[in-house]
Structure 1
Amino acid sequence: MLTGKQRSYLKGLANTITPITQIGKSGITDSFIAQLDSALEARELVKVHVLENSLLDSKEAANEAAQLTNAEFVQAIGSKFVLYRKSKENPKIEVPRS
C-alpha cells in the first residue's frame, strides 16, 4: 500500500510519460493483462489510456487492472490511469519511504 507521499512522488514521475497501452471496447482481456504485466515488470510505472468506446471508466478499469496484476493504483485523470509495481528483476524507481 502506497502512502500519500509515495503516491505524490509517483504522480510527479508519471506526468512525463505517455500511455503505452489502451483499453478499447473489448475491455480488460487476458492479452491486455499479459501485456500490462510485462510492461510493469520492465518499466514499473505504466500509464494506460481508456478509449471512448470502452464500457469502463478509467477509475474502475484501473482498480480491476491493478488487482489482476498485483500493482498499486497511483492516479486516474480523465481517460488515463497510472499503475505502479516494483520490478522483481531490475528495480529502477526508488520510492521514498513514508
Structure 2
Amino acid sequence: MSDLGALSYYLGIEVRQGKEELTLGQNAYALKLLERNDMAECKPCVTPMEERLKLTKTSTTAKVDATLYRSIGGGLRYLVHTRLDITFAVGYVSRFIEDPREDH
C-alpha cells in the first residue's frame, strides 16, 4: 500500500476535509447531469417538484423516451447521496421508471 494523501474525489463525490469536519458534495456531477440534459441554463428553485403533484401509472398520455427518462432518473438517484433535499421528488418519479409517460 502507498499513501496517496488526503482523499479529495471518490466515485464522483467531492470530499473536503477540515480539522473537525468532512464534507461531501457532487457539484461537478450535478452540473454534468444538467448539461447532458440541456438544462444548464435553468434557474434553481426552492422546491424540487410541484406541490400536491398527483402521478398515476394508469395515465393515457403519450409515452416519452424511456431510455432518456431512465438515464435522467438514474443520474438523479446517484445525486441523492449528497442532496437529501431532492430525495422525495426523485423517489416519487422513480416509481414510473418502468413505464414513463409525458404527464402522469
What TM-score does the superposition give when structure 1 sets the normalisation length? 0.28
Q: Which has the higher helix share?
A: 1
What TM-score does the superposition give when structure 2 sets the normalisation length? 0.27
State the structure with bigger RCO (CA 8 A, min sep 6), 1 or 2: 1
Q: Which has the higher strand share?
A: 1
Higher-Rg member (1/2): 2
